[in-house]
Structure 1
């Protein structure tokens, strides 16, 4: 029996490895909370062949951040917006650093 090459999956933050139950347990939330994040369009889990939700490590980090914000009293909708803006800012800063590294200022 030949096994598929799974080496890349262990390091892939986007690989949908976690069921809704295990994902909820990992972040200390309920499956309903994860579904609410999906309805708020923060995360969109992939579906298994059987139609079950599967979450990636990246999605779980976002969900854990949302849980922290909600635990502090922020609404789910506001928490999701904050996380999207934080993610956009992080990406803009990364791009800015790359551009500075490839095109140093001239004097």
Structure 2
């Protein structure tokens, strides 16, 4: 399954000096999410696209939250 995800270009493992595939924890979390989607009947190509879109959405939400925090006044006026 990990090789199939590599062929679909969802994850690209590093290689050890002996040529063995080495996956990061992040890559393994992505693979686990892909496995969930595939087990629910989603084709692997669609699962990969869903995961990419979920990742992009999460990043956009993180950036948006950072912009909102930066736009907040340092000392908001107290309500009287």
TM surpasses 0.5: yes
**Greater RCO, 1 or 2 (C-alpha within 8 Å, sep 6+):** 1
Q: CA deviation at 1:37?
A: 0.1
Q: Which has the larger radius of gyration?
A: 2
Residues in 2 aligned to 1:46 and 1:92: alpha-carbon distance in whole angstroms? 27
Query: Equivalent of 1:58, from 20, 26, 42?
Result: 26
> Between Structure 1 and Structure 2, how many residues are aligned?
73
RMSD between superposed Cα atoms in Å: 1.0
5+ long unaligned stretches in structure 2:
74-80
1:15-54 residue pairs with structure 2 within 5 A? 33-54=1-22
Residues in 2 aligned to 1:73 and 1:90: alpha-carbon distance in whole angstroms? 24
| Aligned match of 2:35 | 67
Provide TM-score, normalisation by structure 1. 0.66
- Secondary structure of the equivalent of 1:50? coil
Residues in 1 aligned to 2:13 and 2:56: alpha-carbon distance in whole angstroms? 20
5+ long unaligned stretches in structure 1:
1-32
Provide TM-score, normalisation by structure 2. 0.88
Q: CA deviation at 1:104?
A: 2.3
Q: CA deviation at 1:50?
A: 1.0
Q: CA deviation at 1:89?
A: 0.2
